[in-house]
Structure 1
Amino acid sequence: MTTVAVDEFEAERSHLLAVAYRMLGSRAEAEDAVQEAWLRYDRTRQHGDEIRDLRGWLTTITGRICLDVLKSARVRREAYPGPWLPEPVVSRLDDPAEQVELHQEVSLALLVVLEKLSPEQRVAVVLHDAFGLPLDEVAGVLGTSVPTARQHASRGRRAIAEGEARHTADVAEQRRVLQAFLAAAASGDLKALAAVLAPDVVALHDGGGVVSAGRKPVYGADRVARFYAGILARRGDADAIKAEQVLVNGAAGMLITGPGLLAVLTATVADGRVTALYNQLNPEKLTRAISGTR
């Protein structure tokens, strides 16, 4: 492999990571998929095959790899202990390079909805809608006809529109509402806590079966308020818990630490209230997220 070829691939790496992360919701799996794309690119170059559109070729190859991963991961995630939340991308508020390609415009809320799609729908939506791959090339990735690929994209698009949590707030408002939520939870004031929650709010917690976390989604302002107030009341060390403002996949979030506690919390916000809460507590997923915090 020539130095030129290596440089050409490296120039596309961040793009390929963005593609794979949208499809897989895991930084580790995304990096593995891109590494596999590199190996296939290497073999193709060694055979002397010409690649006219490198980005398009690599995007297609990465899509095929991710489709295989999604199909194999589906059974594992269905057996997952409790809600499966994507691996968050955490960055500091004062980082001038906070909008890295890996999480540009990829909210955790969107990744949660993408997780509900079939592998074919997810690949079709990501490749066609997010990265502009023509439908005939999407069909090639899926190994199907163009009409079928169009149908997968359409159904995936419709599922996203129906399932994504309401979110209209900018980062500043998200931050303000999240702070109000945490302050009310720490005080145990159920009335104040419910006041910052939308009536149809949903809270999802991913402990991976390793740490204590809700095994089912919690629905409704009253139940979510009681759930979080109850957690802090049971711990009895609310004063020892620290919440640092961070960005989580480009949105406002909190890195929460304390005795035996590590979590990344983010939310969707509309009309001044939380519409969905995403609480990542799985140590395996957090290790990469926190170690990668800039």
Structure 2
Amino acid sequence: MIEVVEFEQQRRRLFGIAYRMLGEASEAEDVVQDAYLRWRSRPAAVGTPAAWLTTVVTNLCINRLTSARARRERYVGPWLPEPVATGNDPAELMERRDTVSLGFLVLLEKLTPPERAVFVLREAFDYTHRESAEVLGVDEANARQLYHRALARLGEARRRFDVRPADGTKLVERFIAATVEGDVAGLEAILTEDAAIWADGGGKAIAAREPIFGRSNAAHYLAGLASSPRAPAAHLSVADINNATAILVHESGDLTAVLIPEIHDGSITTIRAILNPDKLTYLRTQLQPLA
């Protein structure tokens, strides 16, 4: 029983690490469960359970990322991370909430698995280079090199996700109103000139298989959704998803899409839409108690 309690005390933090590493909530849950089984069957007592479990989870994620890369290269259309609710429980994903933004997780796809591990541990969980080195089983100099290589790969783009816009909710409400009304001019007024739409249907839901670039193209595409045969049955609401004000689309009571706008300087720069039903499973379970 004590062993179970010790593990449960670490579960949220472990999920937070695994989700940031993998960008997939369902896979992160599997990793945490695998870590639990290893915890129960370990041959000897562990002096520091948190460190031991972090090492297990991180290395399980590194192994999974290697095979995930191949799957994502064969993915139908753009691949986006699985969305998770972040507004119900401030401790849900632990530590720096900006590091679970969809844009940030997409950015992490540029990194190799070891680079991603070191970057996540340091940026989201304040691990030192020495602590990261112990988790990965490398020397401190190597861990430091991995971190700086990650910084170089990500460049200035990572700074975009440091602050959550205070006007996010009002802007998203304007976006919803303009989309529902098919108001092209209204949409163009809140989109940046280089706005982009990325839709993840995974071949299992109707979605644009190529990104849509440019203010005019994006506005006309969004306005066109209002005339879709499915539009009258769709119910739109807002929720805190991946540390952003997002739009939930329900049809006949079922969650069918999540749209997460990325906002900078009072305008929407990117809209990421997750429609693949498999990627909405975890979020459905999170939202179920609220239904």
Please say whether Structure 1 and Structure 2 have the same fold, judged by a TM-score greater than 0.5.
yes
Q: What is the TM-score when the length of structure 2 is the normalising length?
A: 0.88
Q: Do 1:206 and 1:282's aligned partners in 2 also have CA atoms closer than 8 Å?
A: yes
Task: Supply the RMSD in Å over aligned alpha carbons.
Answer: 2.4
* 1:98 pairs with one of 78, 84, 89: 89
Q: Tell whether 2:213 aligns with 1:222.
A: no
- Given the superposition, is the C-alpha separation of residues 142 and 216 from structure 1 closer, same or farther in structure 2, using an over 3 Å criterion? farther
Give the SS at the match of 1:102.
Answer: coil
Larger mean CA deviation between 23-32 and 178-187 belongs to 178-187
Q: Which amino acid aligns with 1:173?
A: D
Counterpart of 2:27? 29
Inter-partner Cα distance in structure 2 for 1:271 and 1:171: 8
In structure 1, list runs of 5 or more residues that go unmatched: none
With over 3 angstroms needed to count, the CA separation of the structure-2 counterparts of 1:168 and 1:41, relative to structure 1, is closer
SS of the residue corresponding to residue 101 of structure 1 reads: coil
Tell me the distance in 2 between the aligned counterparts of 1:247 and 1:133: 27
2:270 is the alignment partner of 1:276: yes
Which consecutive unaligned segments of at least 5 residues does structure 2 have? none
The answer to whether the 8 Å contact 1:109/1:165 transfers is no
The residue that corresponds to 2:107 in the other structure is 113
How high is the TM-score relative to the length of structure 1? Answer: 0.87
Q: Which residue of 2 aligns with 1:128?
A: 122
Q: Distance in 2 between matches of 1:227 and 1:258?
A: 20
Say which SS state the counterpart of residue 279 (structure 1) adopts: strand
Deviation at 1:291, TM superposition (A): 2.6
Q: How does 1:168-183 map to 2 (within 5 A)?
A: 170=164, 173-183=167-177
Number of aligned residue pairs = 284
Q: Partners in 2 of 1:126 and 1:172 — Cα distance?
A: 25
Structure 1 segments (4+ residues) deviating >4 Å: 167-172
**Are 1:98 and 1:250, in contact at CA under 8 Å, matched by a contact in 2?**
no
Q: Does 1:7 align with 2:5?
A: yes
Q: Deviations over 1:204-254 (max 9, x none)?
A: 111011011111222221221122123333x14544322111111232111
Which secondary structure state, in structure 1, belongs to the residue aligned with residue 239 of structure 2? strand
Shift of 1:197: 0.5
In structure 2, what is the equivalent of residue 39 of structure 1? Answer: 37
* C-alpha contact (below 8 Å) 2:195/2:269 kept by paired residues: yes
Displacement of 1:54: 1.5
What is the match of residue 240 of structure 2? 247
The 3-state SS of whatever aligns with 1:284 is: helix
SS in 1 for 2:282: helix
Name the CA shift for 1:230/1:159 in 2 (closer, same or farther; >3 Å): farther
- Percent identical pairs in the alignment equals 38
Native 8 Å contact 2:51 2:135 kept in 1: no
- Between 1:239-248 and 1:103-112, the stretch displaced more is 103-112
Q: Aligned in 2, Cα 1:170/1:134: closer, same or farther, shift over 3 Å?
A: closer
Report if aligned partners of 2:260, 2:271 keep a CA contact under 8 Å in 1: yes
Deviation at 1:145, TM superposition (A): 4.0
Secondary structure of the residue aligned to 1:176 is: helix
2 CA distance for matches of 1:202 and 1:247? Answer: 21
Does 2:74 correspond to 1:83?
Answer: no
Q: Please give the secondary structure, in 2, of the residue aligned with 1:292.
A: helix
Query: Residues 222, 261 of structure 1: CA spacing in aligned structure 2 closer, same or farther, 3 A cutoff?
Result: farther
CA distance in 2, matches of 1:165, 1:185: 29
Shift of 1:292: 1.7
Assess if the C-alpha contact under 8 Å between 1:90 and 1:290 holds in 2.
no
Aligned partner letter, 2:149: R
